[in-house]
Amino acid sequence: MRLGMLAGEASGDILGASVMSAMHERFPQLQVTGVGGPLMTARGLDSLYPMERLSVMGLVEPLKRLPELLRIRSSVYRQQCEWRPDCFLGIDSPDFNLPLERQLRKAGLSTAHLVSPSIWAWRAGRIKSIAQSTDLMLCLLPFEVPIYERSGIPAVCVGHPLIDELAELPDKALAREQLGLPATAPVLAVLPGSRSAEVANLLPVFLDAIHLLQKAHANLTVVIPAASPERRAQIEALMGDNRDRVIVTNAGGRLAMQACDTVLLASGTASLEAMLLQRPMVIAYRMAWLSWQIVSRMTITRFAGLPNILAGREVVPELLQDAVHVESLVRATEFALDHGQEVQVAAFEPISEQIGGDFANRCVDALDRMMTQRQ
């Protein structure tokens, strides 16, 4: 069994390594070439280039590196055409992988793509180029599959790796013990984002809301996980001396959410994690005025938070841009503390079951079926 794989960033390396481990169990003589990071390399990938050469973010930086990126893509294309793998799997990095997959498909190779681009949120027209690029789209979320099927693109939901990862967390009581939180008092986890701009835009108003919430609820404890040492320094600077019943930790957002009763968070992947952990939440987001004007006009989905997108309705309150103010945050968070279990968590359970776990084996099943059908 020969498999071509290309991951362009750390998150893709994690997914690719998981798939490779399951593939090796099914096909012990598996050979893999392409591009990946240390996790994929440790599982036997012959990486043609360091993955870091592809890990480019932003708008300007990719343009500066364009000649090198094009040379790498051409080199990988030539190598894969000569090597003739049973399948080429592009992992995320759609702006790099989809054009490469399209070229390989024209050369007669089978191609698959793991992680659907967010065509349901913006740039829906990309579906036309995706149809030319891949024989199979491996989706993490169930609502993505019909979008592809309507355009004649084979697609399958392989579940979300978060489900398997979150199952490894300690239980709520142990999580509280590890974080030094009270065993029985109500706990609010506050996640203001992982980027400096997110923390700067959201945390000051979050802190004002926390102050009012703690005045109304004398035993409410707050835990704020910092995404990095830099974010911790930023969080503590914004907090000043206001530390009463507020714990800042480096332990990670997942452990904090597992330990808490309710979550106040910035819109993003953390909302999916909170949903899978069955925690009531309030989603908020605020950005620079000009950025909001651009993003709000590009977005085609009704909701910002994945729990609401998956449910097809507003299960979780979303406070965006001008709606992010102290009074609205306090009202929404108090409601989630008091009624989140019956209003939100009851809706989370069936959605989580639809996504399902066992991500790596489901990927291998789908790839195996596709390769068998094309033999």
- Conformation bin of residue 224: beta by default, left when phi > 0, alpha when psi is -120 to 50: beta
Query: pLDDT above 70 covers what percent of the chain?
Result: 93
Whether 179 and 32 share a structural domain: no
Closest to 260 (Cα-Cα) out of 202, 207, 221, 214: 221
Whether 207 and 293 share a structural domain: yes
Whether 225 and 304 share a structural domain: yes
Q: What whole-number distance in Å separates Cα of residue 301 and Cα of residue 61?
A: 28
Whether 12 and 109 share a structural domain: yes
- Both structure tokens of 11: 């998150």
- CA dist 71 → 6, 54, 55, 77, 96 (Å): 15, 11, 15, 10, 12
Cβ-proximal residues to 134 (8 Å cutoff; 6+ apart), any chain: 90, 98, 101, 105, 111, 112, 113, 153
Q: What angle do CA 262, 268, 270 make, to 5 degrees?
A: 40
Cβ-proximal residues to 280 (8 Å cutoff; 6+ apart), any chain: 261, 262, 263, 316, 336, 337, 340, 341, 343, 344, 345
DSSP classification of residue 261: S
Per-residue model confidence as pLDDT tens digits over 129-166:
999 999 999 999 998 999 999 999 999 999 999 899 99
- H helix and E strand count, the chain: 18, 13
Whether 33 and 100 share a structural domain: yes
Q: Is the pLDDT of residue 25 over 80?
A: yes
For the segment 167-192, the average pLDDT, to the nearest whole number, is 95
Per-residue model confidence as pLDDT tens digits over 182-198:
999 999 999 998 888 88
pLDDT band of residue 58 (cuts 50, 70, 90) is very low
Whether 231 and 285 share a structural domain: yes
Q: Is the pLDDT of residue 57 over 60?
A: no
Whether 255 and 137 share a structural domain: no
Q: Is the pLDDT of residue 209 over 80?
A: yes
Whether 155 and 281 share a structural domain: no
- CA dist 288 → 82, 150, 232, 299 (Å): 48, 36, 22, 16
Q: What whole-number distance in Å separates Cα of residue 307 and Cα of residue 280?
A: 11
Q: What are the φ/ψ torsions at residue 233 (nearest 5 degrees)?
A: -60, -40
Whether 183 and 321 share a structural domain: yes
Q: Across 53-67, 119-133, 248-262, 285-299, which has the greatest mean pLDDT? A: 248-262
Neighbours of 284 (CB within 10 A): 30
Per-residue model confidence as pLDDT tens digits over 244-281:
789 999 988 999 999 999 999 998 889 999 999 999 99
Task: Compute the mean pLDDT over every residue in the chain, rounded to the nearest whole number.
Answer: 90
For the segment 322-329, the average pLDDT, to the nearest whole number, is 93
Whole-number pLDDT of residue 71: 93
Whole-number pLDDT of residue 167: 92
Whole-number pLDDT of residue 64: 67
CATH code of the domain in which 21 resides: 3.40.50.2000
Neighbours of 356 (CB within 10 A): 14
pLDDT band of residue 203 (cuts 50, 70, 90) is very high
Give pTM, 2 decimals: 0.81
Domain that holds residue 127: 2-159+358-374
Whether 363 and 300 share a structural domain: no
Q: Is the pLDDT of residue 59 over 60?
A: no
Whole-number pLDDT of residue 52: 84
Whether 351 and 364 share a structural domain: no
Domain count, the chain: 2
Least confident of 81-90, 155-164, 297-306, 355-364: 297-306
Q: Which residue's structure tokens are 């309507």?
A: 150
Q: What are the φ/ψ torsions at residue 46 (nearest 5 degrees)?
A: -90, 95
Q: What whole-number distance in Å separates Cα of residue 86 and Cα of residue 43?
A: 18
DSSP classification of residue 342: I
Cβ-proximal residues to 114 (8 Å cutoff; 6+ apart), any chain: 15, 16, 19, 89, 90, 91, 92, 138, 158, 363
Q: Exposed, middle or buried: residue 14 (CB in 10 Å: 0-12, 13-18, 19+)?
A: middle
pLDDT band of residue 121 (cuts 50, 70, 90) is low
Whether 210 and 325 share a structural domain: yes
